[in-house]
Amino acid sequence: MMSDLADMTNVGEGETPVVSLNNVSVRYPSGHVALAGVSLTLSRGEFAFLVGPSGAGKSSLVGLLVRDVLPFAGEVHVAGYSVHDLPTSEVPYLRRRVGVVFQDFRLLQRRTVRENTAFALEVTGAPAEEIGVAVERALRIVGLGKLADRYPDALSGGEQQRAAIARAIVGNPELLIADEPTGNLDPLISWEIMELLGQINQLGVTVLVATHDSDIVTTLRRRVLALEGGRLIRDEQRGTYHRVG
Amino acid sequence: MSRAQNTRLLKLSASAAMNGLARNRLATIAATMTMTLMLLVLASVLVIRAGLDAALSYADSKVEVVAYLKVGASDARAAELRAEILKVDGVRDATYVSADEALAAFRERLKERGEPDLTGELDENPLPPSFEIALDDPGQTASVADSLSKLPSAALFARIVDGRALAESLASVTSALRAVGLIVVIGFSLAVLAVVVNAIRLAVMARSDEIAIMRLVGATSTWVRLPFILEGLVIGGIGALLTLFIFGILGAGVSALMLSLFRVLPVETSAILAGQVAISVLLAGFGLGALGALLSLRGRLN
């Protein structure tokens, strides 16, 4: 089931990282410093959790990676793009390489699951024949093949999040960012979604999950990036939600 | 972008634009009606301006000095007087119009206008003979008129009419009317822009979730903006076509009115004028529609 996407990605060591932040600071016009001197890299095929209390800078970091937020200082490289000095006209091309899913799914209610998924490719000018193939593959990966013609309001929360993930991966992104993907879901469904994100990661897609879900983070023992007060206070390979000891 | 991409872009944008217009029906109708009203004003201003221009150029071409002789002056002195006039500096030619010719021309004009000719009831011709004096330079009317009044036979002149003064007063009226027309058109254009901006802004708000997703998945600004620009163009285009339709219906009446207002208008220019009005109305409609869309999108899509 997963082999299609794997063909499109290359897992390998020693390559240019998919994400590289070098001493990055974000300061908002109000003067609030959201991130201060953050440096980190995510290699191709890595899976990492981004944790921290509210206001720690998680959203700013996610915003940086899709050029929603501009750094005040430092360098940001994502999927081969120098995001810190990227011309506005190039931003859409960066975003085609980065899939994003949110806590609130952000599906278009007047479109079916299939149409929501296809929308991401249609509005980037992809040829019709490619869209059909890519949409069916993405729906297969997230397990929504049979519900493809349903509208979002006829789906459960977990199914809606799967549809949002299908939309995020339909364009074969190098990086998938999940911003609190389980925030609106009950624990069992949350685990299913995490499992799906893990499967997509196994296909070679770099995955970054910003979350408050300490159970999931601590149980899975993946790489943990912990932010507090805008600073990266922990970067552990097999980390837990809270600092141990 | 490839041709296939352009076609897809246009197709998707057109369908999004049509959905948007249909979804905000009231705002669309209001914007289209206001657009039509404005374009009707524009077309009227253009037609009136063309009439004024024609009148002005006619007056300019006729700039000359006319020296009216006293009523009853004999034709016998005409040749002698003409020789004197031709010697005046700046005079190119002088044509004698006898009292009989003047009366004949007057009757001809009455006939053209379809007015009753009562001159047959007159015992004698009340019109004076005159000299129509063409000049080397139309700007010299005042000095030529002055020189004529100092000729040895000047006593024969009843009145010397300086044609430039007439043309100049017509020109000043024309430029005043042009300024008023321009102000009216600009005022209406601003009102139209406001209504179009409002209509498109409603469409942008109604589709804000779609726009957010488009930006998230990497649609370029052309793809995000085009549906709204098309909506503006549709509003402008329908407004322009409605205007031309209404103008076409009213055309005959307007032409008749113009003819009675500007008797001197060369009527054969009306076809060219209609073409110019149609092009101006279409350009203004599409231009204002697109401009309104661009203005309503400013700062809304970032």
Report the CATH number that the domain containing residue A164 is assigned in CATH. Answer: 3.40.50.300
Asked whether the beta carbons of residue A128 and residue B8 sit closer than 8 angstroms, the reply is yes
pLDDT at B254: 65
Q: Which two tokens stand for residue A124?
A: 């980037």
Work out the minimum CA distance from B254 to partner chain A, whole angstroms.
Answer: 49
Task: Please tell me whether residues B254 and B138 are part of one structural domain.
Answer: no
Task: Please tell me whether residues B82 and B158 are part of one structural domain.
Answer: yes
B179: phi then psi, degrees, rounded to nearest 5: -60, -45
Range of the domain at B183: 3-59+168-297
Residue from A62, A117, A123 to probe the interface with B (highest B Cβ count within 10 Å): A123
Work out the minimum CA distance from A101 to partner chain B, whole angstroms.
Answer: 10
**A217 has pLDDT over 90:** yes
Work out the minimum CA distance from A4 to partner chain B, whole angstroms.
Answer: 21
Q: Which two tokens stand for residue B262?
A: 């500007």
By Cβ distance, the residue of A66, A89, A92 closest to B219 is: A92
pLDDT at B280: 92
Q: What is the DSSP string of A195-227?
A: HHHHHHHHTT-EEEEE---HHHHHHHT-EEEEE
**B59 has pLDDT over 80:** no
Task: Please tell me whether residues B212 and B158 are part of one structural domain.
Answer: no
Asked whether the beta carbons of residue A123 and residue B217 sit closer than 8 angstroms, the reply is yes
CA distance A144 to A152: 12
CA distance A223 to B150: 111
Which DSSP letter does residue B121 get? G
Task: Please tell me whether residues B33 and B68 are part of one structural domain.
Answer: no
Boundary-marking domain end, from B138, B163, B188: B163
Q: List the A98-102 sheet strands across, edge first.
A: A98-102, A175-179, A206-210, A47-51, A223-228, A231-236
Asked whether the beta carbons of residue A124 and residue B213 sit closer than 8 angstroms, the reply is no
B221-230 pLDDT, tens per residue? 888 889 899 9
**B200 has pLDDT over 90:** no
Round to the nearest angstrom and report the end-to-end CA distance of chain B.
23
Boundary-marking domain end, from B99, B133, B163: B163
| Number of neighbours of residue B238 by Cβ within 10 angstroms | 20
B22-42 pLDDT, tens per residue? 888 888 898 899 899 888 888
pLDDT at B64: 75
Task: Please tell me whether residues B190 and B151 are part of one structural domain.
Answer: no
The total of structural domains in chain A comes to 1
A52-91 pLDDT, tens per residue? 998 899 999 999 999 999 999 999 999 999 999 999 999 9
CA distance B192 to B32: 9
Q: Which of chain A's residues have a Cβ under 8 Å away from the Cβ of B4?
A: 127
Task: Please tell me whether residues B179 and B282 are part of one structural domain.
Answer: yes
Residue at A87: amino acid letter: P
Q: Which two tokens stand for residue B263?
A: 């008797």
Is pTM beyond 0.80 here? Answer: no
**B56 has pLDDT over 80:** no
By Cβ distance, the residue of A92, A97, A120 closest to B220 is: A92
The total of structural domains in chain B comes to 2
Asked whether the beta carbons of residue B221 and residue A92 sit closer than 8 angstroms, the reply is yes
Which DSSP letter does residue B137 get? S
By Cβ distance, the residue of B4, B219, B221 closest to A124 is: B219
B219 or B59, higher pLDDT: B219
Q: What is the DSSP string of B188-225?
A: HHHHHHHHHHHHHHHHHHHTHHHHHHHHHTT--HHHHH
Would residue B302 count as lying in a domain? Answer: no
Q: Which of chain B's residues have a Cβ under 8 Å away from the Cβ of A100?
A: 216
CA distance A157 to A66: 25
Asked whether the beta carbons of residue A119 and residue B218 sit closer than 8 angstroms, the reply is no
Task: Please tell me whether residues B118 and B216 are part of one structural domain.
Answer: no
Buried/exposed A222-239: b ≥16 CB within 10 Å, e otherwise: bbbbbbeebbbebebeeb
B89-121 pLDDT, tens per residue? 888 888 888 888 888 888 888 887 777 777 777
pLDDT at A1: 40
**B63 has pLDDT over 70:** no
Alpha carbon separation from B261 to A7, B2, B65, B167 (Å, rounded):
80, 56, 25, 17
* Chain B interface residues (partner A, CB cutoff 8 A): 1, 4-5, 8-9, 12, 209-210, 212-221, 223-224
A134-192 pLDDT, tens per residue? 999 999 999 999 999 999 999 999 999 999 999 999 999 999 999 999 998 999 999 99
CA distance A25 to A34: 7
Residue at A125: amino acid letter: G
